[in-house]
Structure 1
Amino acid sequence: MFVITADQIGSRTDRDRAGEMIAALDAEFSPAFILPPDQTAGDEIQLLLRDAATTLAVLLALHRDSHWSIGIGIGEVRTPLPASTRQASGGAFVAARAGVTRAKKAEARFALAVDLAPGAGSRGGAGVGESGGGSALNAEEVEALITTLLLLRQRRTKEGWAAVDLLQGGLSQVEIAALLGISTAAVSQRIHSALWRVDQSAQPALVRLLENLEHATTETDPAT
């Protein structure tokens, strides 16, 4: 499973943003949450998800908001599940805690950690603090690729985001140009400068890599 722990940046000098962030995420991704999103240690939020695609989408939403250090933890979660996310426990939660701690000093304010189950093979991932092995990418390598995407998106201008959001909303470039009061050539340039196609091409590959890491947390090594 996937756990996201996000800690508000500069919370001592800013208002509490946890409640509104939880509401926004719940409105967009509610069916994907295994348990309702929770506010834990004051300005911190915690999310429990089952699928990699939504995990990446939530990460991108949190990062775009720009007020969060974000850790993703991948691993087992103890069952039966409690009534709330804050009461849940397991390796995925330990990994997410390690991730968010490192994220506070990371350039993109993001870190990824995987907690391998006892006897799990090393293919596809690494345990907390380990580098892993095998031919598949480990957690550190997947973290680096996701960080690259986050930094790419971080450089996108407000004008670039406006064009990309409308494009993702189903509008054509002609319609976007009319709505924004600019030429279609200007719309095309904004989308190009925003590296939208690179962004869209990278996301499915990153989802597969996250799925591989999650699979590695439950895959038992045949030699054990």
Structure 2
Amino acid sequence: MLAVHARYRGREARRALLVKRSAEALSTLDGVGEFQVLGVEDICAVVESPEALCDTVMALLSDGSWAIGIGIVPGTSDEQLTRDTASGSLRGGARAATVKVAALPKGTSTLAEDIAAVFALMGHVLAKRTTEGREATSLVRSGLNQNEAAEELGISKQAMSQRLQAAGWQAETAGWRLAVNLLTRADAGPRD
């Protein structure tokens, strides 16, 4: 079972309202359970699949104002244990745009470190992205092909291709796939 815990680290004056609205918006993502608001800065939810978890973490990383904890507890249906594991990954504090991973049983720490490393690299790609790059990648991520996305933005296919390249689209998709694969292995549990 997988869960994500996010702690707002931004500078918004009305942070409680922003956190509540963020929880509501993230709860609409496919495969994501309802985010619980835990105090003024924290939200937490169980996530159905590695793909849904990656989509959620990418949305939080794109914002740049959240510290993110991932909890992985294979072979359980105990949602509270999984949420507690995600929350525990943020003990001791965490900076904005960082991802920490906690997995049970404790012997899976190397895999958890690898997952955190992939998200650190993807966070770096996202942090360097321009507004134009965000628009381009958002359209392609939503299912449009390059021609359709270029038409939507009113630019040429060549300009769209250049925007995607400058935005690190290939690195993002490769990192996303690697994160899904690692999360799938971690969620399957230790091998004998």
Into which bin does the TM-score normalised by the smaller protein fall?
0.7 to 0.9
> Is 1:71 matched up with 2:69?
yes
Check the 8 A contact 2:101/2:116 in 1, yes or no: yes
Assess, with a 3 A threshold, how the Cα gap between structure 1 residues 48 and 184 changes in structure 2: closer, same or farther: same
Q: Which runs of 5+ in 2 are unaligned?
A: none
Check the 8 A contact 1:95/1:114 in 2, yes or no: yes
Q: Which runs of 5+ in 1 are unaligned?
A: 82-87, 127-131, 133-137
After TM superposition, the score normalised by the length of structure 2 is 0.84
Map of 2:98 onto structure 1? 109
> Is 1:144 matched up with 2:144?
no
Map of 1:2 onto structure 2? 2
SS at match of 1:69: strand
Residues in 2 aligned to 1:69 and 1:212: alpha-carbon distance in whole angstroms: 24
After TM superposition, the score normalised by the length of structure 1 is 0.73
The alignment yields a C-alpha RMSD, in angstroms, of: 2.7
Map of 1:45 onto structure 2? 43
Residues in 1 aligned to 2:84 and 2:143: alpha-carbon distance in whole angstroms: 40
Residues in 1 aligned to 2:80 and 2:99: alpha-carbon distance in whole angstroms: 21
Residues in 2 aligned to 1:75 and 1:159: alpha-carbon distance in whole angstroms: 38
Assess, with a 3 A threshold, how the Cα gap between structure 1 residues 56 and 167 changes in structure 2: closer, same or farther: closer
Given candidates 159, 164, 167, the residue that maps to 1:191 is 164
Residues in 1 aligned to 2:92 and 2:59: alpha-carbon distance in whole angstroms: 19
Residues in 2 aligned to 1:185 and 1:213: alpha-carbon distance in whole angstroms: 40
SS at match of 1:110: strand
Check the 8 A contact 2:133/2:164 in 1, yes or no: yes
Residues in 1 aligned to 2:191 and 2:138: alpha-carbon distance in whole angstroms: 42
Tell me by how many angstroms 1:75 deviates. 1.5
Residues in 2 aligned to 1:109 and 1:149: alpha-carbon distance in whole angstroms: 10
- In structure 2, give the amino acid aligned to 1:114: A
> Is 1:95 matched up with 2:96?
no
Q: When you count helix as a share of all residues, which structure comes out higher?
A: 2
Residues in 2 aligned to 1:78 and 1:166: alpha-carbon distance in whole angstroms: 36
Tell me by how many angstroms 1:207 deviates. 0.7
Check the 8 A contact 2:125/2:171 in 1, yes or no: no
Tell me by how many angstroms 1:200 deviates. 1.3
Q: Identity of paired residues, percent? A: 25
* Paired residue total: 191
Given candidates 115, 126, 136, the residue that maps to 1:163 is 136
Given candidates 149, 153, 161, the residue that maps to 2:126 is 153
Q: In terms of Rg, which structure is larger? A: 1
SS at match of 1:201: helix
Tell me by how many angstroms 1:169 deviates. 3.3
Check the 8 A contact 2:3/2:45 in 1, yes or no: yes
Q: Deviations over 1:169-199 (max 9, x none)?
A: 3444444444434333322211111111221
Check the 8 A contact 2:75/2:188 in 1, yes or no: no
Higher relative contact order (CA 8 A, sep 6+): 2
SS at match of 1:100: coil
Residues in 2 aligned to 1:32 and 1:14: alpha-carbon distance in whole angstroms: 25
Check the 8 A contact 2:61/2:123 in 1, yes or no: yes
